[in-house]
């Protein structure tokens, strides 16, 4: 045994095998899981997946066979890992993350992990890039990947875990070294409390109402605050709407039958008041305005069966709504307040300096769009979804780009998650200000929060919780 351990330490580590399989994510939809082997052992990672994808992001590879998983199977992506990616990476040093990621990018041969333009069904949905009317049908198109961003990302994360094992350091410390970061910190969790938009069966137009425990002294306390507020909110909702109002959305947020943003904010405000943490908790909103933008107008009644034209708002109207909400509630962050191509109103609102303005659909974790947003001051925080950019190395580079602009950085979940807690280590290693991993409920969401508890414990006296300094991260 001593000789075996000695040999493991003296022989340079290399990737010896890469094996992928199809598993199900938290929505019951297939995704890619990868086992990557070195002489140190086996390292597993799985790719998250979102409900929507855009033309500016890395595209996952789906089978398209409607007879199997309704076309959502990933057997082609799995085969690409087992046959193409595996062959390219065997023999490589797992500590050389950028070289591994570049090898896969070169193998894929495309800038956005894409290879061919695929035309699909005509849509009865809007896109103000093309046509101003929701009812006007046009052909949806997207680029399909040669290897699949889902295949590449799962391998990239597994390799990162293997690299940490080779260096005999925790994953978050390995990521810190890869990024050149010397200051580790625990992020503020953005807990989803109420779900709306297209993710919940209510009439709330915005996607999420969240809380930020900025007044906590450590992450453990922040998690306690989030959990207690969540359960107080459940009691508030149950009393006002009955137990049916306590159904949850895909990321664990409650989905009561509410119709307006203020109605949801009042519920959260009441729950916060019951906790005794009123001065320590702030509110964040993910508007996801692209989902209800029609031409240059915003339809706040887009989910209502009895809607009229009276609730269509201009960009200026939306700015005034946000100003009033920030004045009436302790809101410190608004995500995607406008359509992904409404740069002018995004710039105007961001320059008001009222709150943190987070770019998700506006940026799509795309380097060129981040650079444009920095140049035009269209937002002041990046929402990073690792599967939108495709590799660990590219994620690190985009976070650096945002930090160089003195932006905040929010590393985010997807609607389709797994128990893989990689983004928790990524947050600490890159010392970002916030993590958005859903409600303090559901196993795939808690996997991230619980991993941050372990990291805080591991760091001991060196653990730093972002807290009140969150705008400076």
pLDDT in tens, 82-105: 999 999 999 999 999 999 999 999
Mean pLDDT, to the nearest integer, of 437-455?
Answer: 96
Per-residue pLDDT tens digits for 172-191 = 999 999 999 999 999 999 99
What DSSP element (H or E) covers 294?
strand 293-294
Distances (CA, A) of 60 to 19, 112, 235: 18, 10, 40
Q: Cβ distance 245 to 238 under 8 Å?
A: yes
Mean pLDDT, to the nearest integer, of 133-157?
Answer: 66
C-alpha 213, offset from chain centre: 19
Residue-level pLDDT at 141: 36
pLDDT above 80: residue 113: no
- Answer yes or no: is 301 a known binding residue: no
CA distance 326 to 8: 57
Residue-level pLDDT at 59: 87
Q: Could you tell me the residue ranges of all domains in the chain? A: 15-114+142-168, 188-469
| Closest alpha carbon to 150 in 384, 387, 392 | 387
CB-based contacts of 288: which residues, under 8 Å, 6+ apart?
197, 198, 206, 207, 208, 335, 336, 360, 361
Mean pLDDT, to the nearest integer, of 54-77?
Answer: 90
The pLDDT mean for the chain works out to: 89
Was domain 15-114+142-168 assigned CATH 3.30.390.10?
A: yes
- Answer yes or no: is 288 a known binding residue: yes
Fold match, 15-114+142-168 / 188-469 = no
pLDDT above 60: residue 139: no
Q: Is the sign of the CA dihedral 180, 400, 149, 291 positive or negative?
A: positive
**% of the chain surpassing 90 pLDDT:** 78
Per-residue pLDDT tens digits for 13-31 = 899 999 999 999 999 999 9
| Beta-bridge partners for 15 | 38
Distances (CA, A) of 380 to 188, 209, 337, 350, 466: 17, 19, 12, 7, 17
Per-residue pLDDT tens digits for 237-281 = 999 999 888 988 889 999 999 989 999 999 999 999 999 999 999
- Answer yes or no: is 335 a known binding residue: yes
Was domain 188-469 assigned CATH 2.30.22.10?
A: no
| Beta-bridge partners for 408 | 381
Which residue reads 């998250």 in tokens? Answer: 48
Three-class SS state of 359: strand
**% of the chain surpassing 70 pLDDT:** 88
Per-residue pLDDT tens digits for 279-296 = 999 999 999 999 999 999
| Closest alpha carbon to 369 in 389, 393, 396 | 389
Do β-strands 408-412 and 434-438 pair in parallel, antiparallel, or remain unpaired?
parallel
Residue-level pLDDT at 133: 34
Six-digit token string for 35 = 């086992």
CA distance 145 to 148: 5
pLDDT above 90: residue 435: yes
Residue-level pLDDT at 10: 62
Residues catalogued as catalytic: 251, 385
pTM across the whole model: 0.90
pLDDT above 90: residue 354: yes
pLDDT above 50: residue 379: yes
């Amino acid at each position: 045994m001593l000789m075996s351990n000695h040999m493991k330490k003296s022989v340079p580590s290399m990737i010896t095998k890469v094996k992928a399989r199809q598993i199900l994510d938290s929505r019951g939809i297939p995704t890619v899981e990868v086992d990557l082997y070195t002489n140190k052992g086996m390292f597993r990672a799985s790719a998250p997946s979102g409900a929507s994808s855009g033309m500016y992001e890395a595209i996952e590879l789906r089978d398209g066979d409607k007879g199997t998983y309704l076309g959502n199977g990933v057997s082609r992506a799995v085969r690409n890992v087992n046959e193409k990616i595996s062959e390219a990476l065997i023999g490589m040093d797992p500590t050389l993350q950028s070289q591994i990621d570049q090898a896969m990018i070169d193998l894929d041969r495309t800038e956005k992990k894409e290879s061919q333009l695929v035309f699909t069904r005509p849509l009865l949905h809007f896109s103000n890039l093309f046509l101003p009317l929701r009812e006007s049908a046009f052909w949806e198109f997207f680029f399909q990947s040669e290897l699949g961003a889902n295949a590449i990302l799962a391998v990239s994360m597994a390799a990162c875990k293997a690299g940490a094992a080779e260096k005999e350091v925790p994953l978050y410390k390995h990521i810190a070294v890869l990024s050149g970061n010397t200051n580790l910190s625990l992020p503020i969790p953005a807990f989803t409390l109420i779900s709306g938009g297209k993710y919940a069966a209510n009439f709330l137009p915005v996607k999420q109402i969240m809380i930020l425990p900025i007044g906590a002294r450590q992450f453990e306390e922040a998690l306690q605050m989030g959990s207690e507020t969540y359960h107080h909110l459940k009691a508030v909702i149950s009393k006002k709407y009955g137990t049916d109002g306590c159904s949850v959305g895909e990321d664990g947020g409650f989905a009561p039958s509410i119709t307006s943003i203020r109605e949801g904010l009042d519920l959260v405000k009441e729950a916060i008041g019951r906790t005794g943490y009123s001065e320590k908790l702030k509110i964040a909103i993910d508007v996801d305005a692209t989902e209800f933008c029609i031409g240059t107008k915003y339809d706040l009644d887009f989910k209502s069966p009895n809607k009229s034209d009276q609730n269509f708002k201009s960009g200026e109207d939306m700015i005034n709504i946000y100003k009033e909400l920030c004045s009436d509630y302790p809101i410190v962050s608004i995500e995607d307040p406008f359509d992904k191509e409404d740069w002018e109103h995004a710039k105007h609102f961001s320059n008001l300096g009222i709150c943190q303005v987070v770019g998700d659909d506006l940026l799509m974790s795309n380097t060129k769009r981040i650079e444009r947003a920095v140049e035009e001051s269209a937002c002041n925080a990046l929402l990073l979804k690792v599967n939108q950019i495709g590799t660990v190395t590219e994620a690190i580079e985009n976070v650096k780009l945002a930090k160089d602009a003195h932006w905040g950085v929010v590393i985010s979940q997807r609607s389709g998650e797994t128990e893989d807690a990689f983004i928790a280590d990524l947050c600490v290693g890159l010392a970002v200000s916030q993590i958005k991993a859903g409600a303090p409920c559901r196993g795939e969401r808690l996997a991230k929060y619980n991993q941050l508890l372990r990291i805080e414990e591991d760091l001991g006296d060196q653990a730093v919780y972002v807290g009140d300094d969150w705008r400076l991260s």
